[in-house]
Amino acid sequence: MSAEKTIDRLPAVPKPGRWIMPGLGLIQGLVISGKNAIQSYYKKDRMTTIQYPEQRAVISPNFRNFPFLCYDDDAATGLRCTACSICENECPPQCIYIVLDRDENGKSLKRPKVFDIDISVCMNCGICAEVCPFDSIYMDGEYEMSTDDRFGGLMLGLDRLAKSAEYHMKLRPEEASAVMAKRKAEEEKKAAAAAAKAAKAKADLEAKAKAAAEAKAAEEAQAATEEKGESA
């Protein structure tokens, strides 16, 4: 509409009425497509097809789909998850199901007995990974999830969800190393705090013992004076 706005067109449009050889554009087009066809045989960068089952694309660290649970050393005991149920509560489609593990006295063992994710319901939003305070749940890069079992095959239990910290490191090195550094710092802090607490307890104990000893001594002294008094 406005005359000052112009659009850059790719080829120069010939002025109407000037004689150009008819079919020139057609020949140019044929040259382009012919070049495409011939160069596809020797220029490897032209062919973008990845023949999937034999060849695989390198997936980006930012690629994410379903959640997995991270464990440190051993799949059975090293799970970071404490079954706090924050992810279960936050999950928008409610696809996470957690049962807390308890000992025979009913005391919490701070680990999940059951941790199920129904990936047929999961919408890959990543909120569970976002809210987890224990660096336990992350989004996975696994994409070969097809199954012939509609119900069991799409319900991932602990056995399929638990993946090692090394796997996380391999999948997304940047994020994983940051998490590792943070966890290490936290652990050191915790250890320091524990040490301080232990030292304090020891000091307290000593002080208490000292006080007790002093009290005893005073008592003895008093008793001695009383005895002296009686004898005198």
Partner 1 sequence: MIFATVPFPSFTLESLPQLPKLLVEWLLMLVGAPDWLVSIGGTAAMAGTVVGVFLSAFALLSLVERKTLARIQNRLGPNRAGWFGILQPVADGIKMLTKEDIVPTKAEWLLHLAAPILIVVPSILALGVMPLGREWVPVNMELGLLFFFSVGALTELSVFMAGWASGSKFPMLGAMRAISQMVSYELPLIISALGVIMVTGSLRLSDIVVHQGDFYFGFIPKWNLFTPWGFAAGLIFYIASIAEANRCPFDLPEGESEIVAGHMTEYSGFKYALFFMGEYLGLFAIAGLGVTLFLGGWQAPLPFLGWVPTWIWFFAKLAVIIMSYLWIRGTFPRVRIDQLMRFAWLCLIPMALLTIPAAALWVFTGKGIVSWVVTVPLLLIPWVILTILFNKRLAPATRTYTFADS
Q: Residue 31 or 212: which CB sits closer to partner 1?
A: 31
Residues 38-77 binding partner 1 (CB under 8 A) are 40-41, 46-49, 51
DSSP state of 100: E
- Contact between 29 and partner 1 by CB under 8 A: the answer reads yes
Minimum distance from CB of 25 to partner 1 (Å)? 10
Which residue in 8, 19, 103, 159 binds partner 1 (CB under 8 A)? Answer: 19
Q: Residue 14 or 61: which CB sits closer to partner 1?
A: 14
Minimum distance from CB of 17 to partner 1 (Å)? 6
**CA neighbours within 13 Å on the CB side: how many for 5?**
2
Minimum distance from CB of 148 to partner 1 (Å)? 22
Dihedral, CA of residue 65, residue 68, residue 72 and residue 75, to nearest 10: -140
Q: Residue 48 or 231: which CB sits closer to partner 1?
A: 48
- Contact between 20 and partner 1 by CB under 8 A: the answer reads yes
Q: Which two tokens stand for residue 94?
A: 């409610």
- Contact between 30 and partner 1 by CB under 8 A: the answer reads yes
Residue 196 CA to its chain's centroid (Å): 32
Minimum distance from CB of 182 to partner 1 (Å)? 46
Strands 137-139 and 155-156: unpaired
Size of the site for partner 1 (CB under 8 A): 26
Q: Please answer whether residues 33 and 26 qualify as being in contact, where contact means their C-beta atoms are separated by less than 8 angstroms.
A: no
Task: Give the long-range contacts of residues 191-199, CB within 8 A, separation 24 or more.
Answer: none
The side-by-side arrangement of strands in the sheet containing 137-139 is 137-139, 67-71, 162-164
How far is 39 from 47, CA to CA, in rounded Å? 9
> Which residues are near partner 1 by CB under 8 A?
1-2, 5, 7, 16-22, 26, 29-30, 32-34, 36-37, 40-41, 46-49, 51
